[in-house]
Amino acid sequence: MMIEMNSDLFCIRLKEIRKMRKMTQQELSEKSGIPSTSIAHIEAGSRKPSLENFYKLVVVLNVSADYLLGCIDQYTPPGTDPITKSIQELPESERQMIEKFILSLKS
């Protein structure tokens, strides 16, 4: 079974959440380490984020990956998604280990 990302919905939700957090593309860029031009392309739908950048967006925006991907329709306010909340409560060194693990899955 192949799961496809709803690109249009992803772009809409990414921009919606960024604005809800009162962030510009530049501010999101600075907090995530993703170039602002890449964020603009992702929001416009002309580029898809890498797994690493997707992870960064989820963490920085404090949003459920399922919501951004269109797997669920209900937006869950920050702090109620147990996985995101758990990751954010970890020390920086442990979050970096999780990031490395996710990147290793990509390889």
pTM of the model: 0.68
In a domain, 1, yes or no: no
Q: Please tell me the predicted confidence (pLDDT) of residue 78.
A: 61
In a domain, 2, yes or no: no
Q: Please tell me the predicted confidence (pLDDT) of residue 48.
A: 92
Query: Domain residues for 81?
Result: 7-106
Which distant-in-sequence residues (6+ apart) come within 8 Å of 26 by Cβ?
Answer: 36
Band (pLDDT 50/70/90 cuts) for residue 12 is very high
In a domain, 60, yes or no: yes
Q: Summarize the chain as % helix, strand, coil (round to 5).
A: 65, 0, 35
Q: Please tell me the predicted confidence (pLDDT) of residue 82.
A: 73
Q: How confident is the model over 48-107, as pLDDT tens digits?
A: 999 999 999 999 998 988 889 888 887 766 656 677 777 877 888 898 898 888 888 877
In a domain, 23, yes or no: yes
Q: How confident is the model over 19-51, as pLDDT tens digits?
A: 999 999 999 999 999 999 999 999 999 999 999
In a domain, 42, yes or no: yes
Crossing angle between the packed helical segments 7-20 and 51-61, to the nearest 10 degrees: 30
Distances (CA, A) of 11 to 35, 49, 94, 101: 16, 10, 29, 26
Count: domains in the chain: 1
Q: Please tell me the predicted confidence (pLDDT) of residue 61.
A: 93
- The CATH number covering residue 79 comes to 1.10.260.40
Q: How far is residue 58's CA from residue 88's CA, in Å, rounded to a whole number? A: 11
In a domain, 52, yes or no: yes
In a domain, 88, yes or no: yes
Instruction: Write out the two tokens for 28.
Output: 């999101």
